[in-house]
A and B are shown apart, each in its own frame.
Chain A
Amino acid sequence: MTPFRSPNDTPLVRVRDLSVRFAGTPPVHAVNSVSFDLAPGEVLGILGESGSGKSVTLKTLLRLLPERKTRITGQVEVDGQDVLALQGRALADHRGGVASMIFQDPSLALDPVYTIGQQIAETVIRHDGLSKSDAMARALEMLEIVRIPSAKRRLANYPHEMSGGMRQRAMIALALACRPKLLLADEPTTALDATVQIQILLLLRDLQKELGMGVIFVTHDIGVAVEVSDRLAVMYAGSFVETGSVKDVIRDARHPYSKGLLAANLVGAAPGTRLDAVPGAPPPLNALPEGCSFAPRCAHAETACSMSPLPIWNGGNGRWARCVQASCLGALADAESTS
């Protein structure tokens, strides 16, 4: 399969043929041979519906999945380290030091019995070996960086004393306290109100530029993905089905599923008209169909769609779609342009 190659030669994240299976009868195929690269300082948006495997992909990068029930195959490298081989202290150094993660629900992710200051300081002491007072100073600095008003007072606040948007800022401060090279964001704005969501998105975008970190941003909301990402990967039933720059994917989607998602987001729909909706629902991950897993819902499905491996339309520069129809149309267009 063509990897999702970034222009930079030394990627920050290198994932090859990543597959994740959860134990069960039959086993759940949560992620199916996903490959991509992420350059330092690049923002990759992973777009998908619930159960498409986007969060599982993200958690694999921090090895947060339950060891005994999960079988991970493939290669995962972050900053040159083989993440799947990490054990003990080295794994702990990786989590929060090299890569860190922000979650959808900060009230679950933060510890309710410690103040925000204590939680940030603890991380800094563990990873950077600072003294307690230096760590508190870093915590204060972090709260100022994420633009929490009257940061000094907030340092002594418990999570329940803050509003939703403020808690999300505090979690971002915690995640960035040790200056990770990679930030993993798992739907960090989904639980927020619209006017707060845009504040957090702009904050993340600014911080990403200031600190120059790589970001993988998982979301189900196309609008959110467009606001923050450089490149976009559309995920369906555990596989990447289409990738490319944000502009290319939004303006010229090739995979029928990406097109359906755009239509469902009312891109260019006249009010009151019927939407061009994709019928049906995603397949269960413990019984994926052969070949293209989108074929049962696809209006253009043909016999070739149940073959594997599927042909890939390649638009160059990391732009591709895994679809029989897209590859045929692409080949036709190429033939026309050369003749």
Chain B
Amino acid sequence: MSTPILSAHNLVKHFKAGGFGAARKFVRAVNDVSFELASGETLGVVGESGCGKSTMARLLVQLLTPDSGEVHYQGKVVGRELPLKAFRSKVQMVFQDSFASLNPRMTMIDAVAFGPTVHGMSRSDATRKAQDLLDRVGLDPSRFGGRYAHELSGGQRQRVNIARALAFDPQVIVLDEAVSALDKSVEAQVLNLLMDLRRERGLTYVFISHDLNVVRHISDRVMVMYLGEVAEIGPVESLYSAPCHPYTQALLAAMPSLDPDRRTMEAPLAGDPPNPIDPPQGCRFHTRCSRVFAPCSAQAPAQHKVGKTHFAACHLNSAKEHVA
């Protein structure tokens, strides 16, 4: 792979969660997460709530400062070698809550034009650009440009958020559950828009979602997270057809089948995900894993290579590697 456009190196983020002194507790939201993004690819990120996918996204766009670890943009360390302002115009984010992420006192034209003016574009140029972008995302600027956030539907607001992210001509867009709050028929429209924009502008996406069907549809590679760590990462076809981590297998088996003749007969996992405040020792998944064996509770597994670009953090695969 040539220089990745964006890469995360050993990102760690712990949040304080009550207690004092030695008894202070931490939510280990993101624990030693590393990955690379090639230019033009889409990385899907899946996992249950509390697995750290949103924290990871916020670290990636530098909305949160990591406790340790670095983000590199085209090989440069963000913050140290690349100023944040320059980085922000290259890497943008779209959030799940389309209403909360728009200023309620700004018209849609102003919301989209705001970023470029801050970055030095003249007001008239920025407004013209905003009009073009609104038009591109499927909102007639003469009809919707003067409206406020509460005067739009959820799908329309999310289109504005996408237009706003595009206003900087970014290379990378991090989409944090950007279509999850939308109704299915509207979600399909927004997915189509995202796929069109990706092709037109050669965009790179980090697509975070809990919906495995959507992730499969839009992604080139998929990363599975569990309790702040990467359980498995690999190309979409091999990860879905031959998952190598028991957690990925469970996630896939837990998808409702769309075939009335082949309904799910058994739940793949029992119980809820453990509390990230006190994650289990060793492999974090061993308390729910059906294939747990001796080393799982003692030692955290390393990322084992199970394919050319396919890695899984599970002891089962180390055994496989040794046998082979």
Question: Taking A264-B184, A266-B217 as contacts, is the C-beta distance between A202 and B272 under 8 angstroms?
Answer: no
B216 lies within 8 A of A271 (CB): yes
> Are B188 and A202 touching (Cβ within 8 A)?
no
- In the bound assembly, the distance between CA atoms of A166 and B153 in angstroms comes to 34
Q: Mark B233-255, 1 if CB is under 8 A from A, else 0.
A: 00010000000000000110111
With an 8 A cutoff between CB atoms, is A81 at the interface? no
Indicate with 1 or 0, residue by residue over A252-279, a CB within 8 angstroms of chain B CB atoms: 0000000011011111010110111111
B185 to A198, Cβ gap below 8 A?
A: no
Q: Is the CB of B183 within 8 A of A49?
A: yes
Given contact pairs A266-B217, A271-B216, A275-B188, A198 touches B254 in the complex (Cβ within 8 A) = yes
By the criterion CB–CB under 8 Å, are B192 and A277 in contact? Answer: yes
The distance in angstroms between the C-alpha atoms of A298 and B218, with both chains bound, is 26
- Alpha-carbon distance between A222 and B211 when the two chains are bound, in angstroms: 13
Q: List residues of A (210-261) whose CB comes within 8 Å of B's CBs.
A: 220-224, 226-227, 246-247, 250, 260-261
**Closest CB-CB distance, A292 to chain B, in whole Å?**
16
Output the nearest chain B residue to A50 by Cβ-Cβ distance. B183
Q: Are B186 and A275 in contact (CB under 8 A)?
A: no
A246 touching B260 by the CB < 8 A rule?
yes
Which of B183, B216, B217, B254 touches A197 (beta carbons < 8 Å)? B254
Q: Are A247 and B257 in contact (CB under 8 A)?
A: no
Q: Which of B164-215 contact A (CB under 8 A)?
A: 183-189, 191-192, 195-196, 210, 212-214
Which of A194, A221, A226, A276 is packed against the most chain B CB atoms within 10 Å?
A194
| B49 adjacent to chain A (CB < 8 Å) | yes
CB distance A277 to B48 under 8 Å? no
State whether B184 touches A49 (Cβ < 8 A). Answer: yes
- As a 0/1 sequence over residues 251 to 266 of chain B, the CB contacts with chain A under 8 angstroms (1 = contact) are 1011111111101111
Residues of B within 8 A of A247 (CB): 260-261
B184, A196: Cβ atoms closer than 8 Å: no
Residue on A nearest B195 in the bound complex, by CB = A274
Closest-CB distance, B18 to chain A (whole angstroms): 15
Of all chain B residues, the one with the shortest Cβ separation from A251 is: B260
A163 contacts B by Cβ under 8 Å: yes
Which residue of chain B is the closest to A189 with respect to CB atoms?
Answer: B256
Q: How far is the CA of A227 from the CA of B253 in the complex (A)?
A: 13
Is the CB of A87 closer than 8 A to any CB of chain B?
A: no
Known: A193-B210, A194-B254, A250-B260. A278 touches B188 (CB 8 A): yes
A193 with B273: CB separation less than 8 A: yes
When distances are taken between beta carbons in the complex, the residues of chain A under 8 Å from B260 are 226, 246-247, 250
Q: How large is the interface on B (under 10, 10 to 19, 20 to 34, 35 or more residues)?
A: 35 or more
Is B267 part of the binding interface, using a Cβ–Cβ cutoff of 8 Å? yes
Q: How far, in angstroms, from A263 to B256 measured CA to CA in the complex?
A: 16
A223 to chain B, nearest CB (A): 3
User: Residues of A contacting B217 with CB < 8 Å?
Assistant: 266, 269, 271-272, 275
With A198-B254, A271-B236 as contacts: A266 and B183 at CB distance below 8 Å: no
Rounded to whole Å, the gap between the CB of B141 and the closest CB of chain A is 18
A residues in contact with B279, CB < 8 Å: none
Interface residue A131 (Cβ < 8 Å from any Cβ of B): no
Q: Chain B's nearest CB lies how many Å from the CB of A90?
A: 38
Q: How many residues of A contact B (CB 8 A)?
A: 44
**A287 smallest CB distance to B (angstroms):** 14
Q: Pick from A163, A164, A195, A272: contact of B267, CB below 8 A.
A: A195
Contact in complex: A199, B213 (CB < 8 Å):
no
A201 to B256, CA, bound (A): 9
The answer to whether the Cβ of A180 comes within 8 Å of any Cβ in the partner chain is no
Of the candidates A165, A201, A275, the one whose C-beta lies within 8 Å of that of B272 is A165
User: Of all chain B residues, which has the CB nearest A197?
Assistant: B254
B40 at the interface (CB under 8 A from A): no
**B270 at the A/B interface (Cβ < 8 Å)?**
yes
Once A163-B272, A194-B210, A227-B263 are accepted as A-B contacts, the answer to whether A222 and B183 lie under 8 Å apart by CB is no
Decide: B250 and A195 in contact? CB cutoff 8 A.
Answer: yes
Q: Which residues of B contact A49 (CB under 8 A)?
A: 183-185
* B201 → A minimal CB distance (Å): 16
Which of B213, B266, B272 neighbours the largest number of chain A CB atoms within 10 Å of its CB? Answer: B272
Decide if B272 touches A164 in the complex (CB within 8 Å).
yes
Q: How far is the CB of B149 from chain A (nearest CB, A)?
A: 16
Contacts of A202 in B (CB 8 A): 264-267
Residues of chain B within 8 A (CB-CB) of A279 are 189
Cβ-based interface call for B155 (8 A): yes
The answer to whether B258 touches A278, judged by C-beta atoms less than 8 angstroms apart, is no
Nearest chain-A residue to B271 (Cβ)?
A165
- Indicate if the CB atoms of A275 and B268 lie closer than 8 Å: no
A287→B192 CA distance, assembly (Å): 29
Query: Given A266-B217, A272-B217, are A260 and B256 neighbors across the interface (CB < 8 Å)?
Result: no
CA A49 – CA B195 in complex, angstroms? 23
State in angstroms the CA–CA spacing of A269 and B195 once bound together. 14
Please name the 9 residue pairs, one residue from A and one from B, whose CB atoms are nearest each other, closest first.
A223-B256, A277-B188, A264-B188, A193-B48, A49-B183, A163-B272, A264-B184, A199-B267, A278-B185
Given contacts A264-B184, A281-B153, A281-B155, 14 further A-B contacts (CB under 8 A): A165-B271, A193-B49, A193-B272, A195-B254, A199-B267, A202-B267, A227-B263, A250-B260, A264-B187, A264-B188, A271-B217, A276-B188, A277-B185, A281-B186
Offer 5 A-B interface pairs, CB within 8 angstroms, sorted by A. A49-B185, A193-B272, A202-B264, A226-B256, A275-B192
Residues of A near any B CB (own CB < 8 A): 49-50, 149, 163-166, 193-199, 201-202, 220-224, 226-227, 246-247, 250, 260-261, 263-267, 269, 271-272, 274-279, 281-282
